[in-house]
Structure formats: C-alpha cells, structure tokens
C-alpha cells in the first residue's frame, strides 16, 4: 500500500493565510527542453488560529498535457492523461526490479501514452517515459506540450502534477521523484508551475528522508514558517 504522509500547519500569524505545497523537482535523466518545473500540488486556507493540513503519498503517476502558455512561473498546466507507475527497487537479495516504462506518442497536436508493449527499464527509485519520434521538438515547443510526474494525496488516485517539462522526441527519460517537499504561503494556483528559487516569501523544506511521516509547521506572528522537531 502507498505510504501516506501528513503535513500540518498551525496559523499563529493573527490573520487568515493560504498555504501552498509543492514537491522538489525530480532528477531526470534525458534531454529536456528548458528546465524541469515543480507544480503546486495543493493549496489550502487557514483562518487565524486554525490549522491547515496536507496529505501526500508515494503513489506516483506519469502524465501528459499542455501548459497554458510558455512554461514559466505561475503558468497553469492542463493534464490530458495519466498512468500509475511503480518505481524500480532493489530486492533483499540485491537484484534489481525495474520500474515501469511508459510509451509516449504524439498525434493531432497532442501527446498520449500508447499501449505498445515495452519492457520495464527504469532505475531503482525511478520510472521511465520513452518518447517516440512521431512528433518533433518544434511540435512540443510550439504546442506547449508537457509531460512529467504526478502525485496522489492518499494513494487512491491521481490528484495533480508534481513536476513538468517539455519533452524531446526519441528519448528515454528516467524520472526519480524526491522525498522533499516545500511549504509557502500566498496567492498560488493548484497545478501551476513553480520553482523554489522564484518563491518570493518564506519557504520551509520538509525532507521525509529524515523526518517522520507526520510533521507540524508553525507559521508564527513574525511570518516565519518553523518546522517543529521532537
């Protein structure tokens, strides 16, 4: 079963706040056009004195879609299809179980995942997207084509994109999700492109490689986001 994690935020600022959560951009092997963007995975409002909560899981998805314009900070992403994937892993005996590989095609000014059989070939901790040569790099750029990593709040279905990039044709992308999340506050739209370097206000990192599955952050009256530790 997918492992679910919870992030709680206590609003002690004295005013209403809206919080936004996004995932660290994954490591991607394979040439992409431009940069690899994170997406705002969730937003929630907390009145003063109240608590907001986010849930995330380790059930991941490959997705395709388009951006609402040239990819840049704040641009929305429209998802057209998604497919659940299993990451590669190492068995107890040290042998490798490859992660899922999905086949990406282009037709009628859109990308889609085809059903052509393909052996799984992803690294440990990764899944793979293998693009065909039935679209061009120019098609992808002009059409604002997007592919990437999607996530689930509770492991029961696709809840939105986590990371996006513009693909090239005839490339196998190895995509390794990160266990680090970022919380900020302000006016953000779920699904829109974001990068931690461009966030203008306070930001706190939540690294679940070194934290328990349930964490609490205090947004204090000086505007700081403080991760609580035992």
Checking if the pLDDT of 230 tops 60, the result is no
Please give the average per-residue pLDDT across 5-10, as a whole number.
98
Please give the average per-residue pLDDT across 170-198, as a whole number.
98
Checking if the pLDDT of 1 tops 80, the result is no
Please give the average per-residue pLDDT across 160-189, as a whole number.
98
Average pLDDT, the chain: 96
The per-residue pLDDT for range 19-72, each reduced to its tens digit, is 999 999 999 999 999 999 999 999 999 999 999 999 999 999 999 999 999 999
Q: Which residues contact 62 (CB under 8 A, 6 or more apart)?
A: 82, 83, 85, 100, 102, 113, 127, 129, 147, 148, 149, 150, 175
**Which residue, 78, 81, 130, 83, is CA-closest to 104?**
130
In percent, how much of the chain has pLDDT > 90?
93
Angle at 179 between CA 181 and CA 43, to 5 degrees: 30
Token pair 């986010």: residue? 54
The pTM of this model reads 0.95
CB atoms within 10 A of CB 197: 7
Checking if the pLDDT of 114 tops 90, the result is yes
Round to whole Å and give the CA distance between 142 and 80. 17
**Which residue, 190, 148, 177, 149, is CA-closest to 165?**
148
Round to whole Å and give the CA distance between 160 and 190. 8
What band does 79 get if pLDDT is binned at 50, 70 and 90? very high
CB atoms within 10 A of CB 185: 22
Supply the pLDDT for residue 2: 54
For the chain, what is the radius of gyration of the CA atoms? Answer: 18
In 81-218, where does DSSP find H-type helix? 137-142
């Amino acid at each position: 079963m997918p492992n679910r994690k919870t992030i709680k935020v206590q609003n002690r600022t004295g005013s209403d706040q809206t919080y936004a959560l996004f995932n660290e951009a994954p490591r991607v092997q394979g040439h992409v056009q431009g940069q690899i963007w994170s997406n705002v995975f969730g937003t929630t409002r907390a009145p003063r004195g109240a608590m907001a909560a986010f849930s995330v899981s380790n059930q991941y998805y490959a997705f395709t879609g388009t951006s609402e314009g040239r990819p840049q900070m704040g641009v929305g992403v429209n998802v057209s299809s998604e497919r659940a994937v299993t990451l590669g892993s190492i068995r107890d005996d040290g042998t490798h179980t490859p992660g899922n590989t999905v086949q990406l095609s282009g037709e009628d000014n859109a990308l889609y995942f085809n059903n052509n059989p393909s052996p799984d070939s992803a690294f440990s901790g990764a899944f793979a997207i293998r693009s065909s040569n039935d679209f061009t790099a120019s098609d992808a750029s002009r059409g604002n084509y997007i592919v990437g990593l999607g996530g689930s709040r509770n492991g029961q279905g696709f809840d939105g994109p986590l990371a996006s990039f513009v693909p090239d044709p005839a490339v196998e992308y190895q995509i390794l999700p990160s266990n680090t999340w970022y919380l900020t506050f302000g006016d953000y739209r779920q699904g829109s492109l974001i990068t931690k370097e461009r966030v203008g206000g306070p930001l706190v990192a939540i690294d679940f490689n070194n934290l328990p599955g349930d964490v609490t952050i205090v947004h204090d009256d000086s505007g700081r986001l403080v991760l609580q530790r035992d």
